[in-house]
């Protein structure tokens, strides 16, 4: 294994955790999600999202549509935040 490959193999697992450690889901929602909709989308009686899996899918769909290109760990933190704050699945 080359030195470059070894360094990438050693540092790659840290990349996600470093990014996720600085990610603030509450601020992200306020600064990004709220541009398209307010919090009533999470709490209305006829909401689309009816499961944790659907919530994860919707967060990924919004990430793709808006182009924020969140890291996997950040998506997971965002899903967890929305679930704890609004959905309670």
Helices (H), 1-89: 3-21, 25-31, 40-43, 52-66, 72-82
pLDDT over 60 at 16, yes or no: no
Could you list the residue range(s) of the whole structural domain that residue 20 is in? 3-87
Contact yes or no for 62/29 (Cβ under 8 A): no
The least confident of 11-15, 49-53, 83-87 is: 11-15
Residue owning tokens 């306020």: 30
| Domains contained in the chain, number | 1
pLDDT over 60 at 17, yes or no: no
């Amino acid at each position: 294994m080359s030195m470059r490959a070894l360094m990438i193999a050693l540092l790659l697992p840290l990349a996600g955790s470093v990014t996720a450690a600085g990610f603030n889901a509450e601020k992200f929602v306020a600064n990004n999600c709220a541009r398209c909709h307010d919090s009533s989308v999470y709490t209305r009686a006829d909401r689309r999202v009816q499961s944790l899996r659907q919530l994860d899918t919707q967060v990924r769909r919004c990430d793709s549509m808006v182009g924020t290109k969140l890291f996997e760990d950040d998506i997971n933190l965002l899903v967890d935040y929305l679930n704890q704050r609004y959905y309670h699945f």
